[in-house]
Amino acid sequence: MDSERLSDVCHVVAMPYPGRSHINPMMNLCKLLLSIKNDILITIVVTEEWPGFIDSTPKPDNIRICSIPNVIHSYKFDGATFPGFYEDVMTELEAPFEQLLDRLQPQVTAIIADIEVMSTIRVANRRNIPVASFWTMSASFFSTLYHFGLYAQNQPSLLDQENIIPGISSAEVDELRTISRRDNPRVLQLALDCISSVQNSQYLLFTSVHEIEHQVINTLKLKFPFPVDAIGPAIPYMDLKRNSNKAEYLQWLDKQTKNSVLYISLGSFLMVSKSQMDEILAGLQESGVRFLWVAREETTRLNELIGDDRIGYVVKWKIVEEWKIGKMEKLVRRDEIAEVVKRFMDLENIEMRKRASEIGGVCQQAVDQGGSSIRNLDHFIRDFLVSP
């Protein structure tokens, strides 16, 4: 962006939680905003180990990446150490983030804060900078946590009543209570604290589609004195539309029969052993189901094992978060994997396929020109980012 225009530009700072499933949606939200209004300057703030992973990601020139020191303690990630990491995110990033704001130019106009870095909202409030809260999971899960915290603190008996949370079943509330007792209660309390901090922001954005979660979103609109909107799936669907040079695996995918390919992703939190990877591949081959598998590593070796009988592809994540890993302790055998895959992909499972197709159609309409998600993004820009 031309330096002469920086003094009067709308400068937005985006602060994601330091994990790929949060950084990617934040990056894609920023791209979507610029696709509508391209004269905004956006600074995405990440801890110092991240720029090397995301600098190569295609992005507009007026998205810049700034890093802050990684003051989070070093963890070997598994279920036991996650609570410590989660708490560090809540407490240790506040000071370096505020120090960065002191150095940024031009003056920051607005902040988009991942809800799970709740200190960002505190900093924005202290500096009188408008802040929008950004939730990267479903609106239903947010609503469950919001009402769970509200009622558990003030009226715990209400949680036993049927349909006390609009759009959320009592079974889902029971499941959350079971998890909170079984797992580390500190993590749940921190999550509830994050949800509680949203009331101090001026906007709430969901990576959801209004038509799919309309009951929950409409209920939340009544709970907060500021706009609550769904901006659609925060994935790079606009890049996919523009990309005419398709990779080999995408060309292969285009040739497959509709609804015949299984998509597999193990995520970044779980570390899978070489023997388990081999069992997964063998199970997939035994099932006879065609697949597209996104893996953290060993993609070359696994593709060689698939051989010329191209029943599937293994492709690498665009961003690999090497330090954030857990471990799969139990080896799952190939016959178990093959049985589950065949059952899941059974062509007779008509109801599930029909529902998935319907949801896909609704999502497509929402992100098309004039769709609900595009309108909500436009409202966000007009009413929050560039309002006088």
3-state SS, residue 337: helix
Q: pLDDT digit string (tens) for 300-355?
A: 899 999 987 789 999 876 543 333 333 444 678 889 888 888 877 776 567 777 88
* Closest listed residue to residue 142, CA positions, set 118, 122, 120, 115: 115
3-state SS, residue 115: coil
* Contacts for 128 with CB less than 8 Å, ≥ 6 apart: none
DSSP letter (8 states) at residue 165? B
Q: CA distances (Å), 222 to each of 139, 208, 226, 266, in order?
A: 14, 18, 9, 37
CA atoms within 13 A on the CB side of 241: 7
Q: φ and ψ at 219, to 5 degrees?
A: -65, -40
CA atoms within 13 A on the CB side of 208: 25
- pLDDT value at residue 330: 62
**Distance between CA atoms of residues 356 and 362, nearest Å:** 10
pLDDT averaged per 10 residues in sequence order, the chain, 388 residues = 63 94 93 94 93 80 93 60 84 95 96 97 97 95 87 63 66 67 74 95 97 94 96 80 71 88 75 85 92 86 87 74 41 85 74 82 94 97 84
Q: CA distances (Å), 8 to each of 41, 42, 98, 384, 386, in order?
A: 10, 14, 22, 16, 11
- pLDDT value at residue 241: 60
Q: Write the DSSP assignment of 54-71 as a string of letters.
A: HTTS---TTEEEEEE---
